A and B are shown apart, each in its own frame.
Chain A
Amino acid sequence: MSEPILKIEGLDKSFGAVQVLHGVNFAVYPGEVTALVGDNGAGKSTLIKCVAGIYSIDSGRLYWEGKPVQIHSPHAASALGIEIVYQDLALADNLDITQNMFLGREILRGPFLMDGQMEKKARETLTSLSVRTVSSVRQIVASLSGGQRQTVAIAKAVLWNGKVVILDEPTAALGVAQTKQVLELVRRLADSGIGVVLISHNMNDVMQVADRIDALYLGRIAAEVRKEDTSTGQIVELITAGRSGDIGLSLDTAALSA
Chain B
Amino acid sequence: MTASDATTQPARTPESDTRGSFRADVSPRGLGGAFRDFINRLRGGDPGAVPSVLGLLVLGLIFATTTPDFLSHNNLANLPAQTSFIALTAMGLIFVLLIGEIDLSAGTTGGMCAAFAAQSLQSGDLHKAVGDIVYIGLIVGMVCAIVLGVVSRMITAPLIVLIGLILMLTGLQEDHQPLAFFFAVSIGVAVGTFSGTLVARLGIPSFIVTLALFLAWEGVQLFALSNQSIGDTNFAIWFGLTHNNMAVWAGWLFFALLTGGYLVFTLVRSRLRARAGLSYDTPLLVFLRAGVLIAIGGWVTYFLSQNRGTLIAIEGLPWAASIPIAFMVFWTISLTKTQWGRHLYAIGGSDESARRAGIPVVRVKISAFAICSGMAAVGGLFNADYSGGATTALGQGDTLLFAVAAAVIGGTSLFGGRGRPRDAIVGALVIATIPNGIHLHQFPEHANEVITGAVLLIAASVDAISRRRAKAH
Contact = CB atoms under 8 A, between A and B. Distances in A.
B24 A143 contact: no
Contacts of B389: none
Given A111-B338, A134-B19, A175 B10 contact: yes
A186 interface: no
A93 B45 CA distance: 12
B337 A112 contact: yes
A88 interface: yes
B228 interface: no
A234 interface: no
B293 to A, nearest CB: 21
Given A113-B337, A143-B470, A178-B9, A132 B17 contact: yes
B256 to A, nearest CB: 24
Q: Which 6 A-B pairs have the closest CB atoms?
A: A92-B349, A104-B357, A132-B20, A146-B5, A136-B24, A94-B417
B368 to A, nearest CB: 15
Given A95-B345, A143-B44, A145-B9, A90 B358 contact: no
A226 interface: no
B278 interface: yes
B393 to A, nearest CB: 38
Interface in A129-153: 132-138, 140, 142-143, 145-147, 149-150
Contacts of B273: 116
A88 B339 CA distance: 24
A76 interface: no
A104 B357 CA distance: 5
Interface in B130-175: none
Interface stretch (A59-67, A120-128, A190-198, A202-210): A120-128
B5 A173 contact: yes
A145 B5 contact: yes
Interface residues of A, number: 47
Contacts of A138: 24-25, 279
A127 B1 contact: no
A92 B350 contact: yes
A108 interface: yes
Contacts of A88: 1, 352
B312 interface: no
Contacts of B277: 120
A88 B343 CA distance: 19
B8 interface: yes
B418 interface: yes
A174 B6 contact: yes
Interface in A68-118: 75, 86, 88-95, 99, 103-106, 108, 111-113, 116-117
A75 B358 contact: yes
A119 interface: yes
A177 interface: yes
Contacts of A133: 16, 19-20
Given A103-B354, A135-B23, A137-B25, A149 B1 contact: yes
A20 to B, nearest CB: 23
A127 B44 contact: no
B338 to A, nearest CB: 5
A99 B17 contact: no
B3 A174 contact: no
B12 interface: yes
B342 A106 contact: yes
Nearest to A112: B337
Contacts of B1: 88-89, 146, 149-150, 173-174
A189 B402 CA distance: 53
B354 A173 contact: no
Contacts of A137: 22, 25
Contacts of B471: 142
Nearest to B353: A90
A103 B470 CA distance: 22
Interface in B313-356: 337-339, 342-343, 345-346, 348-350, 352-354, 356
Nearest to A137: B25
Contacts of B45: 142
